Amino acid sequence: MRISRVSQELIDELGIYFLLFDRAGYGESDPDPKRTVKGEALDIQELADQLQLGSQFYVIGVSMGSYSTWSCLKYIPDRLAGVAFVVPTVNYWWPSLPDSLIREDYRRKLLQWSIWFANYAPGLVYWWATQKWLPSTSGLERNPLFFNDRDIDILKTISGFPMLTKDKLRERGVFDTLRRDFMLAFGKWGFDPMDLSNPYPQNESSVHIWQGYEDKVVPFELQRFVSGKLPWIRYHEVPDGGHLLVYYSSVCEAILRALLLREEPVSYRPRTARDWY
């Protein structure tokens, strides 16, 4: 996923340039079976240096790719001018997550079993994912278990998730890339984001989390907890938003204006405060 619904007019107005970072094994980047969460931040820093982006730059992390963004906040905070997390996945291995919050979350059990199979039975997972009798990923992309109504409307206008098609998954390199990425994102990181200090003590408007209230992949309750533990992060909640916020044109514009211009998008304040932790 990426910021894909931004108008050229806004890009010209803000004078911005997008650089899309492919994690190891994605796009034309080489696989790296030994990569780590810390290595993600160092790779981003090296790329920025090689391209001479300057002493500081902005980082936007989307969905599962947000673990690289947390890594940047941990290991290279001095290089960041600002950060935006868009529907970031929450790692259930974080020690700070209270059991009362995640005990009944079916996603936790699903991830636990998925990680076990990905680690100890990757051949079985590969066989399961590539069998011809299984439904195609087009069924996944229309499944109300994962996407709300607005997401499903978006999926009618985009190409979907090319790496999750059966043809792509049959390529062992693609399958292994997705498996390693999944295990890294939901494995043990070596640090808890809830222990991070504010890298911008003079400006508490530099880090943002954007979350859909109707997100069925990452529940908003988890994002509210994270934001409550890290009050220096500005939390924004889209009332009718699902997991595909990055494809909502109006939200994309609000993300950039809040990050770059410090604008306060009043319409994306959380619905209530009583659910905060």
pLDDT in tens, 27-61: 777 878 788 999 999 999 999 999 999 999 999 99
Nearest-CA neighbor of 163 among 36, 27, 45, 42? 27
Mean pLDDT of 215-240: 93
- How far apart CA 160 and CA 141 sit, in angstroms, is 7
Nearest-CA neighbor of 72 among 84, 62, 59? 59
Q: Tell me how long the chain is.
A: 277
- The pLDDT value recorded for residue 138 is 44
Q: In what order do the strands lie in the sheet with 233-238?
A: 57-62, 80-86, 207-212, 233-238
- The pLDDT value recorded for residue 86 is 96
- The pLDDT value recorded for residue 203 is 67
Mean pLDDT of 157-173: 62
The backbone torsions φ and ψ at residue 175, rounded to the nearest 5 degrees and listed phi first, read -60, -45
In the chain the first and final C-alpha atoms are separated, in Å, by 29
* Residue, of 180 and 98, whose pLDDT is higher: 98
Provide the token pair at 205. Answer: 């408007």
Tell me: pLDDT of 182 over 90: no
CATH 3.40.50.1820 domain span(s) along the chain: 8-100+189-268
- Residue 277: pLDDT band by 50, 70, 90 thresholds? very low
Q: Which residue has the tokens 């790296």?
A: 32
- The pLDDT value recorded for residue 122 is 61
Tell me: pLDDT of 169 over 60: no
- The pLDDT value recorded for residue 107 is 77
**Homologous superfamily assigned to 8-100+189-268:** Alpha/Beta hydrolase fold, catalytic domain (3.40.50.1820)
Mean pLDDT across the chain: 82
Tell me: pLDDT of 269 over 80: yes
Tell me: pLDDT of 160 over 70: no
User: Which segment, 53-67, 151-165, 262-276, is predicted with the most confidence on average?
Assistant: 53-67
Mean pLDDT of 172-199: 83
Provide the token pair at 196. Answer: 């991070």
Q: Exposed (0-12), middle (13-18) or buried (19+): which is 120, by Cβ within 10 Å? A: exposed
Tell me: pLDDT of 120 over 70: no
- The pLDDT value recorded for residue 117 is 58
- The pLDDT value recorded for residue 136 is 45
- The pLDDT value recorded for residue 31 is 78
Q: Phi/psi zone of residue 176: left (φ > 0), alpha (ψ -120 to 50 degrees), beta? A: alpha
- Residue 82: pLDDT band by 50, 70, 90 thresholds? very high
